[in-house]
Chain A
Amino acid sequence: KNEVEQSPQNLTAQEGEFITINCSYSVGISALHWLQQHPGGGIVSLFMLSSGKKKHGRLIATINIQEKHSSLHITASHPRDSAVYICAVRSGNQFYFGTGTSLTVIP
């Protein structure tokens, strides 16, 4: 059983669509991270959340601690958003990663 589950695993969207990626976790956490991995392999840290909501450009991340759930939203999606989005949680000194959501945005 994975401590972190993401859905969907794969997502294809038309340019301009609003996108939501979900993350559920089963452990107590001190922080949740959203990461972006581009086809070349590089990983970029997008957000770190411990409560509430954060926004950066067209990206919005929310977390509900009681429900152990987080969402990553992309507004006005663009082909350059095509990447794998990874949810990760920190629980004590342990880190647990989701298997990622592969997003393809078609022009």
Chain B
Amino acid sequence: NAGVTQTPKFRVLKTGQSMTLLCAQDMNHEYMYWYRQDPGMGLRLIHYSVGEGTTAKGEVPDGYNVSRLKKQNFLLGLESAAPSQTSVYFCASRRPEGGYTFGSGTRLTVV
């Protein structure tokens, strides 16, 4: 099925551990985004990519790294997780006509 797939859906990390969140889309979209959603703060852009091999910082990039080695995959990495990174993470890709397709989210808890 066409869409945006995020893995994993849930994860619990200990402070200092690292992990990578995977976002995959099969719609050949150029633009991809990683957001975090926290209560009372709405969605905030972490990093985005306008095409294969390119990435750029969003509003809250600190503590995260990203890579877009293949057009269909956008990876979000946490090198040393902190409790402040407990959040729900959403990946999205932008359709050529401008609308967005979102993944189902990854709920991350850092203890």
A93 touches B105 (CB 8 A): no
Distance in Å from the Cβ of B93 to the closest Cβ of chain A?
11
Bin the interface of chain B by size. 20 to 34
B102 touches A42 (CB 8 A): yes
B102 touches A45 (CB 8 A): yes
**Interface of chain A: mostly helix, strand, loop or mixed:** strand
B86 at interface (Cβ–Cβ under 8 A)?
no
Distance in Å from the Cβ of A88 to the closest Cβ of chain B?
7
With the chains together, A100 CA to B35 CA distance in Å?
A: 15
**B105 / chain A contacts, CB cutoff of 8 Å:** 41-43
With the chains together, A45 CA to B95 CA distance in Å?
A: 11
B102 touches A100 (CB 8 A): no
**A88 / chain B contacts, CB cutoff of 8 Å:** 43
A69 at interface (Cβ–Cβ under 8 A)?
no
Contact of A86 among B42, B44, B58, B88 (CB under 8 A): B42
With the chains together, A40 CA to B58 CA distance in Å?
A: 26
With the chains together, A86 CA to B37 CA distance in Å?
A: 12
Q: Which residues of B contact A (CB under 8 A)?
A: 33, 40-45, 48, 56, 58-59, 88, 90, 92, 97-102, 104-105, 107
- Name 24 interchain pairs, CB-CB below 8 A, sorted by A: A33-B100, A35-B100, A35-B102, A41-B88, A42-B102, A42-B104, A43-B90, A43-B102, A45-B99, A45-B100, A45-B102, A48-B97, A86-B43, A88-B43, A93-B48, A94-B45, A95-B33, A95-B58, A97-B43, A97-B44, A98-B42, A99-B40, A99-B41, A100-B42
